[in-house]
Amino acid sequence: MRNALHFIIVTILVILVTVGVYLGLTAIGLMPASASAQAIPIDWLFDLEVKLTAFFFALIMVPMFYSLFVFRRKKGETGDGEHMEGNTTLEISWTIIPLIIVIWLGIIGADNLRQVRTVDPQAVEIKVIAFQWNWQFEYPHGIITDTLYLPVNKQVWLKMESRDVLHSFWVPEFRIKQDVVPGRVEDYRVTPNLIGSYKVRCAELCGTSHSYMEKTVIVLSQADYDKWINEQTKIALIAQATADADPNPSSARGQVLYNNNGCKACHSLDGAKGIGPTWHGLFGSSVKLADGSEVIADVAYLTESIKFPNKKVVGGFSPGMPDFGLKDKQIADLVAFIKTVK
């Protein structure tokens, strides 16, 4: 009877501590806001694991502290405690039950992954380029931006590539994360379900400016997204038509390339030191290289530096600028823009 009372007390305490630990963990906000359909099954599984963690914590700690307090040696006791050899039933139970739980978690985890990786054949395709230390997003019809625009409640298929080292695409509110491996095209499917502004971060240490490798992700209503796509398509088509009609280098087109192709992530226009040399007053100036020699920043040097960025490294900077695969005409436009930055 007395042993039964101890079991009842311990059971009640385990339940109370489990509830208390679970409520405490959830109250501190372990996860950011959920903003994708894929986050729903992930958060459900995470919540289940938190509940199990709270339960097993209570199952271990409550009997331990209860035993230390209730069954401690009383004043005046000098004898040894009761000798026990073991309990076969208990040992079998604490082997079989955890095994069943692990298998069960594996099954529901696999089903969770199935839900997250469900393919929508009508998904919106966007190309993502990762490089030290920036993200670039390419849409159909020549639209290139450094802000990722997504439609709400529509699956988006991001086809991701890296131009240099290993990166990792991560929007915490979307929950899912995907490594971007050089030489491969990685798939990332997400269905945003909450309109708003978020941040994409690199979750893989990728160099000295890894912590600054983040860009804005904007989830729009379908109507606003369609409007944005139409506007950007017109701008891209006009720019392409103008470029085709005008064979001469254009500083205006070069400025668009600077803003949208990742140049501004490393090169400032106001003289501020960045990951790469500033473009402020660069054209025509004397540039000291890492090998101690000096060159004049003329058209030939700037063209060569964009084509082969690591051939002549500027002193005080590390090699690492990726090859963006720009066409000769685009490079000429960039050089024309650099001429105007004074």
pLDDT tens by residue, 46-79: 999 999 999 999 999 999 999 888 888 777 777 7
Q: Is residue 34 part of a domain?
A: yes
Identify the CATH number of the domain in which residue 326 sits.
1.10.760.10
Backbone angles phi, psi at 190, to 5 degrees: -145, 145
Beta-sheet strands, E only, within 55-203: 124-131, 134-139, 143-145, 148-151, 156-162, 167-170, 177-180, 186-190, 196-202
For residue 9, what are its two tokens?
């007390």
Please, what sign has the CA dihedral across residues 204, 139, 40, 214?
Answer: positive
Express as a percent the part of the chain with pLDDT over 90: 41
DSSP string, 261-308: SSGGGT--SSS---SS---TT-TTSEEEBTTS-EEE--HHHHHHHHHS
Instruction: Return mean pLDDT, the chain.
Output: 86
- Residue after which a domain boundary falls, among 235, 261, 292: 235
Domain check: are 227 and 321 in the same one? no
Show the CA angle centred on residue 145, arms to residues 140 and 148, nearest 5°: 90
pLDDT at 1 over 70: no
Structural domains in the chain (count): 3
Cα–Cα dist 325/289, whole Å: 24
- C-beta separation of 305 from 312 below 8 A: yes
- Give the mean model confidence (pLDDT) for residues 189-211: 92
- Residue after which a domain boundary falls, among 235, 257, 275: 235
Domain check: are 219 and 281 in the same one? no
Block residue for tokens 């002193």? 315
Q: Is residue 151 part of a domain?
A: yes
Q: Is residue 78 part of a domain?
A: no
Cα–Cα dist 16/298, whole Å: 75
Domain check: are 140 and 225 in the same one? yes
Q: Is residue 150 part of a domain?
A: yes
The predicted pLDDT at position 289 comes to 86
The predicted pLDDT at position 41 comes to 93
Domain check: are 286 and 226 in the same one? no
Top mean pLDDT of 251-265, 268-282, 309-323 is at: 268-282
- C-beta separation of 252 from 297 below 8 A: no
The predicted pLDDT at position 320 comes to 67
**Residue 283: which domain range?**
246-340
Domain check: are 174 and 254 in the same one? no
pTM (two decimals): 0.73
- Give the mean model confidence (pLDDT) for residues 20-49: 91
Domain check: are 169 and 187 in the same one? yes
Q: Is residue 75 part of a domain?
A: no
Cβ-Cβ contacts under 8 Å for 161 (sequence gap 6 or more): 127, 128, 129, 130, 180, 184, 185, 186
Confidence of residue 300 (pLDDT cuts 50, 70, 90): confident
pLDDT, tens digit, for every residue of 173-197?
999 999 999 989 999 999 999 999 9
The predicted pLDDT at position 243 comes to 63
